[in-house]
Structure formats: structure tokens, C-alpha cells
Structure 1
């Protein structure tokens, strides 16, 4: 689980993302028990699809999982490549669960990757997210991550020219920043963070853990 670096007693402002400041990390820690849903006005954003959200599955599915993730977070990559495929088959594809994905980039590289994913469009969005997470070891820690990221994304029609134009698109940048700000207001300070029907789950979760949570909610 990746945490934001605390500076001068407070969380680094989201503006630092746009300025290219690296937020830093702390060692992974086990997620605590779930906590109750936030009170209004944040409660609705924890339990329902909001304008601009990316939704995997039936938007009317009764169980809502809202994920805040950073595309350079290794634990987020593990969730998307190892855990989510199983959850998708059993719960999302059967119409019982929907996944709402929201960006919470913890560094400038993740912010750029998230912006590129936004440019893919709704039809390709989750396919591009999957490509980014699966190729994370090849691009995230290189000296030129954007150039390296462009290689696997060619299959999605995002070449170097498209990516360059995307990174200059203020609307795409604002979409990422708005996700980040929204996460902050709901107490997100690390990735991955899940809200399942409004309850907060920090840190990595196994297929078995999530199966148990969904089974209780589905009764």
C-alpha cells in the first residue's frame, strides 16, 4: 500500500502533482478493518456513480466498489492483474457488483499515465488501464516512463503523437486532478483504497476477502 508523504504536518497539496513533485512512499502495511461510510455530503460519492466516473459492469448492480488507485502503485497493479479478473468473473459479469475506478496518483508519473488513460475514451478505458498495470514493471521506473508506456499502448491506438496531444489537454488533466481532490475529501491517503457500499477498506485485499464481503452484502 502506498502512502502520501507527509510534509510540514499536512498532506502535500494536489497542486504538487501538476508541478511534478514526487510524493514519495512508505513501506506497505496491512489494511485495517472497514470503517463506517462518511456522512453527507460525501456519502453519495462513496455509494453511487458520479458524473465522469468510469464504471466496470452494470451501473445498476446493487453492490458498488469504488477504487482509488495510482498507476505506479505495485499493490494496485497486483489487484488489477491478479484479484480483479477473478472478482470480475464471479461478481461483476453476473451483474451483482460494479467497479467504479477513480484516480489517486501519488506521483507525477502516475498522474501522466492516468491522463493518458482518460484520453483513451470510455470504450477503451478499462482495457488501457489493464495494459498500463500489466506493463507497469517495464515503464514505471525507467528514466523516460512516458516513452516506454507508449510502446504497449500502441495496440490501443495511442501512439507517441496521440500521447503528446493528450498530455497537453487541460480537460484530461483536470479529470485526474478532480478524482484526486475527491479522494482527499473522503479520507483517501493511500492506494489501493476501496469503498464497498460506503465502507472503507485500505490496502491490498485478496479474492477470498472480497468474496466474503460481497457474499454478506448479497444476502
Structure 2
């Protein structure tokens, strides 16, 4: 029932709905915002960036894996800076660089709170071809669910728009294994790559934190694409 979902998402961060697991998120998956270290690596080894251990979930990407530039973004669904990038800069990144074969883009989960974890879980529960449209919608409507008094209701609305039923919604957010895998992406990003804020980008291995603008993006990519 909706009250149960609201308690899950707004209260102490319970993770399972239908299963009724009354365990705080941090205990359930071994993660909380307090774990984040202040690692300050400015570059990351390519092997670490692309290692299978980076995420136990299937890669979510756009573009040609053989493109001259690879951009890996670590984001949180409740991060307003991530939403700003997604709605203002990402459309240009996609049309100017991804769709033209110049950039291969990978999105990885870095949730700081149970609401963000739930949003990422829902994106993972829709068909593969709806993943990025779902992410786009979640960022576009972030203010309507992420910071509301009832984020569960807002997330359910988005889920239904993506074709999930209320039963699908309950089942998805009750999947402890999926939640642990979403959290594993954040744990790896912090411990192995020095991610300590969102959004954080790795552009051909260079760490670039913050919601970069179109001008910033062009500045970063132009030297890497000379002659391409």
C-alpha cells in the first residue's frame, strides 16, 4: 500500500516492500552517504574504469564503443546538478558527439539516498530500450518526486508512464539483489576511482567533477577529437 511505500522512501530508508524487510538501507547493503571518502584522484586507470567489477549490472551506454572518446558519468537521481546536466548539456552531448560516433557514453549509478536508489532500480526494471528515456524522464521531473512529501507517489507516476504497473513497481522495489547491485556501483566508484560527488565524469580517464556546461564539454573534447 502507498503508506508502506512512503515509509520506505521517506522514513528510515527501508529497502524491501512486499518482503517487509525492516532493515535500514545502510545495514542492508553496507552503504550510506557516510562511507564516501575524499579520494582526490584526477585520473583513473583505464582497466579500473572498464573492469567488470565496476558494476555487477549490465552496462548502460549510448554510442559506438570504438569511438575515440569515452565518457563515464557517475550520477545520483536525486542530485539537482545531475538533473541540470541531463536537461541542459546532455542533449548537446548526444546530438553533437554521441550520435556522430565521436563519444561513447556510459551511465553508472551513484545513489546517495534510498529515494535515488529506488529511482535507479525502476530504470533498471523497464525494458532495455526504455532505460535512457526513463532516466531522462526521472531527471526532467525530479522536482516533482525527489523533494516532495511523497516521493513514492511521484515515482509510481513515472513508472506507470514507462509501462510498469503498480504490481511491477512493488516487485521492482522489493528486489534486494537489484538494490545491492545498484549500491555496488557507488561503492566501486568511490573506493577504486575516487568518486566523492555527483555528477562526476571520466573523459578518457580524466576525472571531471561537476555539472559541466556545453562550453566546458566542448573545451574538454576538442583536443581529444582533433583530426577525428
Q: TM-score, normalised by structure 2?
A: 0.77
Name the larger-Rg structure: 2
- Secondary structure at the aligned position of 2:61 is classed as strand
Count of residue pairs brought into register by the alignment: 195
- Pairwise CA distance, 1:45: 4.1
Structure 2 residues not aligned, in runs of 5+: 1-24, 35-39
Contact kept, 8 Å, 2:110 with 2:186, in 1: the verdict is: yes
CA separation of 1:49/1:180 partners in 2, compared to 1, >3 Å: closer, same or farther?
closer
- Secondary structure at the aligned position of 2:107 is classed as strand
- Secondary structure at the aligned position of 2:105 is classed as strand
Residue pairs, 1:83-162, within 5 angstroms: 83-162=89-168
Q: Distance in 2 between matches of 1:216 and 1:49?
A: 29
Q: TM-score, normalised by structure 1?
A: 0.80
Q: Is it true that 1:16 corresponds to 2:26 in the alignment? A: yes
CA separation of 1:43/1:93 partners in 2, compared to 1, >3 Å: closer, same or farther?
closer
CA separation of 1:176/1:17 partners in 2, compared to 1, >3 Å: closer, same or farther?
farther
* Higher strand proportion (structure 1 or 2): 1
Structure 1 residues not aligned, in runs of 5+: 1-14, 25-31
Residue pairs, 1:1-219, within 5 angstroms: 16=26, 18=28, 23=33, 35-38=42-45, 42-45=48-51, 52-184=58-190, 185-219=192-226
Q: Distance in 1 between matches of 2:57 and 2:29?
A: 26
Contact kept, 8 Å, 2:57 with 2:182, in 1: the verdict is: no
